[in-house]
Amino acid sequence: MATLAFTKGHGTGNDFVVVSDPDGELDLSDEQVAILCDRHFGIGADGLLRVVRSSAIDEGADATASGAEWFMDYRNADGSKAEMCGNGTRVFARYLTDTGLADISGGLRIGTRAGVKTLTRSDRGFEVDLGGRSSRADVRPR
Strand-pair partners of 20 = 51
Radius of gyration over alpha carbons of the chain, in Å?
A: 14
Q: Which pLDDT tens digit goes with each residue over 79-118?
A: 999 999 989 999 999 999 999 999 988 889 999 999 999 9
Within the chain, which residues score under 50 in pLDDT? 1, 133-142
Cα–Cα distance for residue pair 49/74, rounded to 1 Å: 5
Cα–Cα distance for residue pair 68/53, rounded to 1 Å: 9
> How remote is the C-alpha of 118 from its chain's centroid?
13
Q: What pLDDT does residue 117 have?
A: 94
Q: What is the DSSP letter of 56?
A: G
**Whole-prediction pTM value?**
0.88
Local structure of 38: helix, strand or coil: coil
Q: Which domains does the chain show, CATH number per domain?
A: 7-134 (3.10.310.10)
